[in-house]
Amino acid sequence: MAGPSLTVIVPLGGVGSRFQNEGHFSRPKPFVRVFGKEMLLWVLDNLSRRDGDDLVLCFNPSWMSLSVWMREVVASKYPRCHLVELPGPTRGAAETVLLALKGVPASVRKKPVMLCDGDTFYTHDIVSSFRAVGAKENACFVFHDTQPKPMYSYCRLGPAKEILETKEKVKISDWANSGCYCFRDGEQLEAECAALLAEGEMQLSQDKVPEYYTSGVISRLLAKGEPFRALEVPIGDIHVLGTPAQVESWCRGRAPPAAARLAFCLSALRAPSSEAAAFCRTAFAQGHHIVVLTPADLALSEVKTLLRRNNLNYHELVEAGEPNCDFLVCSHALDPLLGTLERQSGYYSGGIPAPPASGQQASVQASAGRAARSIEDLAAAFGLGLFMGAVITCVLSKRS
């Protein structure tokens, strides 16, 4: 398709406190799994970028080891991806965008720019829609919102769907901004963001907190005669995953895109009332492929009896080892992306070396390990993600 190369910026200036407050302790918000796939990847995989387009992700690196997640999960997968680390929390989207633009080369900055929320994805080709007009016009993606309560920023449109005015949390029309704002000149966007901050033009959020909103930048450009086009998106093609409730509702309202292979260590399933066992039953009922890892010291007949007694269905029994699976549910799993392995395990470098385990000492250690297993199962249940239920999860083979 004809049109200029674009720069797509995903500002991630927040800290995802709602997710942390509702039990998502082990993963930063952009990497909370939705149907087994990280939220941010739903956003990026639905952007139809072409050769020459740049992707910019700006984030606070001190937030739950986010820089590790970005390098390992995102940067290696997407071409022309620029990671911009913020110095700390920002005072709103406009400041986050300004820092993102300052953190990339001029060749990236001067292109037309799309700003995409990190918790909203589209099954409508928004990139091609903006590319078609981006050489000459700015744009906002809008949808028709008839509810009386003003929850978004809104646009007042002219007869040719040109944007005449935009207001944050004030319902000046039924045309609401979806959260994707587009600018024909990244350098002009940078200058207007800087001017907005210099003049202190803040607006109140829904929580009555003053912030620097992108809609304020748009208002400045409209006042200077810059053309803005409203590009309509069907409401059914906008998928918002901004809160834990929205993620759960979205997942419950549709089938997973594909069945997953889920491997369970038998130790996590021994207690029939455990969250791991409950999740195993749910996953089997949803059509996922269930693999149970069996210990070498337990007869196969005993394993089958245990699973049958606990009402646990499965597809495969595999002797313990590294299974071919998408996820492993195990009371002893450590994931290097969840922070340092030292912190997860409690073993720190520079300490006194442990004595070799042999003879009676090894037997005592094995006995202690068995006694502690139920405690570890409980601890693992505390660190659940939405998709994996109440267990620490570890990706073993593929990442979506």
d(CA 261, CA 398): 11
Q: Are 113 and 9 within 8 A, CB to CB? A: yes
The answer to whether residue 341 scores a pLDDT higher than 90 is: no
Three-state SS at 313: coil
Do the strands 153-157 and 175-183 form a parallel or antiparallel pair, or are they unpaired?
Answer: antiparallel
78-101: pLDDT as tens digits: 999 999 999 988 899 999 999 999
Inside any domain, residue 316: yes
Containing domain of residue 342, as a range?
263-362
- For residues 187 and 134, state if they share a domain: yes
Amino acid at residue number 326 = D
Phi, psi of 385 (to 5 degrees): -105, 170
- For residues 206 and 303, state if they share a domain: no
Inside any domain, residue 383: no
Number of separate domains in the chain: 2
234-262: pLDDT as tens digits: 999 999 999 888 998 999 888 888 999 99
Segment 283-296 mean pLDDT: 92
- For residues 236 and 273, state if they share a domain: no
Percentage of the residues of the chain whose pLDDT score is greater than 90? 56
- For residues 230 and 294, state if they share a domain: no
Q: Are 273 and 53 within 8 A, CB to CB? A: no
CATH classification of the domain holding 195: 3.90.550.10
- For residues 194 and 271, state if they share a domain: no
- For residues 275 and 352, state if they share a domain: yes
d(CA 103, CA 85): 8
d(CA 35, CA 260): 9
Percentage of the residues of the chain whose pLDDT score is greater than 70? 82
Q: At what angle do helices 93-102 and 186-198 cross, to 10 degrees?
A: 130
Sign, CA dihedral 86-91-93-94, equals: negative
Inside any domain, residue 92: yes
Amino acid at residue number 207 = D
- For residues 56 and 198, state if they share a domain: yes
116-127: pLDDT as tens digits: 999 999 999 999
Sheet with 261-265: strands ordered across: 316-319, 289-294, 261-265, 327-329, 393-395
Residue owning tokens 């996922």: 288
Choice among 25-29, 258-262, 389-393 with the minimum mean pLDDT: 389-393
- How far CA 144 is from CA of 174, 261, 293, in Å, comes to 6, 40, 51
Inside any domain, residue 101: yes
- For residues 307 and 202, state if they share a domain: no
- For residues 297 and 244, state if they share a domain: no
| Lookup: tokens for 311 | 């009402």
Alpha helices in 75-140 (DSSP H): 93-102, 106-109, 126-131
Segment 196-204 mean pLDDT: 89
pLDDT at 376: 38
Picking from 271, 383, 298, the residue whose alpha carbon sits closest to that of residue 333 is 383
pLDDT at 261: 94
- For residues 190 and 268, state if they share a domain: no
| DSSP symbols for 264-308 | EEGGGGSSTTSHHHHHHHHHHHTTPEEEEEEPTTS-HHHHHHHHH
Does residue 234 or residue 369 have the better pLDDT? Answer: 234
d(CA 283, CA 36): 12
End of a domain among 249, 276, 306?
A: 249
